Structure 1
Amino acid sequence: MKEQKRIILISLVTGIVLMVMKFAAYFLTNSNFILTDAAESIVNVVASSFAFYSIYLASMPRDENHPYGHGKVEYFSVFIEGALIGIAGVIIVLKSVYSFFNPEAIKDLLQGAIIIGFTGAINGGLGYYMIQKGRSLKSITIEADGRHLLTDTVTSVGLVIGLLLIYFTQILWLDSALSILVGCYILYTGYKLIRRSVAGLMDETDFIVVSDMVKVLDDNRRSEWIDIHNLRAQKYGSELHIDCHLTLPNYFDLIKVHEEVKMVETLVNDKAGIRTEFFIHTDPCIPKCCHYCSMPNCPIRAEAKREDIPWTMDIVMRNKKHYEQ
């Protein structure tokens, strides 16, 4: 968690510096177009501040009140960031519509474009770095903050192009018209972040993460693991929680059953790239399992194996043994 805190702190300090520069550009030019970027930078600072706190909270150990840990707080962080972006987008659109019908004089657009271009380049580099780190550290907060900064970079590129267009054409109403377009884009970005946070809070399955985990199990499955079914996944920050049923030979004793369950957990944690906690319910095999069971020298086999059933998301998530599917 120390590295996550350091990354968010860098984002916060950088955001404050760039926010001051953007507002300086706005006061220099009096451009609504630049104000859209400056207003969004306030969101960057507030969001990074809350992200820093959420990562601190997510790093706290489990307790009686939070038996699954505090990782879900990262989804609240993303929700607040998305909501703030949305509010900023609404304000920008309203202000730009007003200014479209009540235009004000703008000036020094070339200097403003240079300042905004510089801040956009900084945000672009930092955003790309944070997305890569967010993925490697399995932190939705850092990744969301990085995507927000990349959105800010796209906005800045549009700003620079728009400011140069206004500067060379002297069509002043373009300032408000382009601001409205940028405001709508910011609104859409806020919606996507809110949608992602709600999905996490509602325990929507992360199909990419779970598919990778299932593939690891399928590629490394043991003969003793006859089938896996009724698999359900929940994400808590950077951790994955899995409930599933594992069918094992019915003549295994409790010690052997425990060893096999532990092997499943160790395999996924070593090779799936995400820290995973398993709650595995073990089922005994029955004669109907024999036709897809690979267990060698089985003393109770009722029929020869005649089918290979690959473990896929569709199969392992059903609440049925493979012979029932």
Structure 2
Amino acid sequence: SGVEGTLILIAAGSIAFAAIKRLLTPQPLEQVGLGLAVSVAASLINLGVALVLLRAAKENDSITLEANARHLMTDVWTSAGVLVGVGLVVVTGWLQLDPIVALVVAANIVWSGFHIVRESVKGLMDSALPPKELAIIQEVLESHQENGIEFHALRTRQSGARRFVSVHVLVPGDWTVQQGHILVEQIENEIRAGLANVAVFTHLEPLDDPLSWADVSLDRPHPTTDQPA
């Protein structure tokens, strides 16, 4: 996908270079009818394929499919720019309008290419889940904050299309293991129902144990001699 993004940027650079050249030395348009017909046909085909790929990319959290779709969309935008530019030239007779529109199209393609490259780099590194997905997790946890149940040390990360959620669940100390197990199973299932491709890890702790509150941060302090190890 990073390669796709780079190719998109190269294509945008080529369009911009050609547009600047035509802007400095305007040339009359040739074989307008045939060129427009081919451009429209190719645009419709590319648009249809791109929309299918974008839908599949969203469903599968695939940056590769998204990159392929956006690559096709660069062709669509290029063709749209050709149509607009040629149309304006035909109406106004001002030859410079065609390369000006081409520069606008190139700028849009550059933005698309940078977006793909940025998302590709993010896919190579772990990152926290976006706010919208964090809100889904928070909603699940808040729905269980009753009967003395608390949560802390919520941590999330995303690696490619895979999501990971870790949270500590604090319950009354007199609960049985079975009660705690039923609760965390319910919490994990509700989070899985709200997020796709997610692995949920819960850690059960008693509310009344001071050590339960000692591991909120990533760097847990070492126990002192008067605390159980």
Cα deviations by residue, 1:222-280 (Å, 9 ceiling, x for unpaired): 756812222222223332111222212223344544443333222222x2141211222
Change in CA separation of 1:101 and 1:158 when aligned onto 2, cut-off 3 Å? closer
Alignment-derived partner of residue 277 in structure 1: 199
1:224 and 1:156 mapped to 2: Cα distance?
A: 62
Contact 1:244–1:281 (Cα < 8 Å) also in 2: yes
Name the structure 2 match of 1:81: 4
Aligned mate of 2:132, from 208, 211, 232: 208
Runs of 5+ in structure 2 lacking a partner? 211-215, 219-229
Per the alignment, residue 65 of structure 1 pairs with: none
Distance 1:91 1:224, change over 3 A: farther
TM superposition shift of 1:92: 2.1
Specify the SS of the correspondent of 2:30.
coil
Is contact 2:23–2:100 with CA below 8 Å preserved after alignment?
A: yes
For 2:173, what is the secondary structure of its paired residue? coil
Matched, 1:261 2:188: no
CA distance in 2, matches of 1:161, 1:90: 20
Aligned runs of 1:61-80 on 2, under 5 Å? Answer: 77=1, 79-80=2-3
Q: Which moved more, 1:88-97 or 1:252-261?
A: 252-261
* Other-structure match for 2:105: 182
| Residue number among 21, 24, 27 corresponding to 1:98 in the alignment | 21
CA distance in 2: counterparts of 1:227 and 1:319, whole angstroms? 16
Hey, what does 2:64 align to over in structure 1? Answer: 141
CA contact (8 A) 1:163 1:175 kept: yes
**In 2: Cα distance, 1:248 partner to 1:265 partner:** 16
In 1, the alpha carbon distance for the partners of 2:152 and 2:116 equals 32
* TM norm structure 1: 0.56
SS at match of 2:134: helix
Q: Which amino acid aligns with 1:281?
A: H
TM-score under structure 2 length normalisation: 0.75
C-alpha contact 2:169 2:205 (8 A) present in aligned 1: yes
List gaps (5 residues or longer) in structure 1.
1-76, 289-317, 321-325
Structure 2 distance, partners of 1:240, 1:319, is: 21
Which amino acid is 1:240 matched to? Answer: R
- CA RMSD, Structure 1 to Structure 2 (Å): 3.0
For residue 161 of structure 2, what is the aligned residue in structure 1? 238
Shift of the alpha carbon at 1:152? Answer: 4.0
Count of aligned pairs: 212
- For 1:213 and 1:99, how far apart are their aligned partners in 2? 54
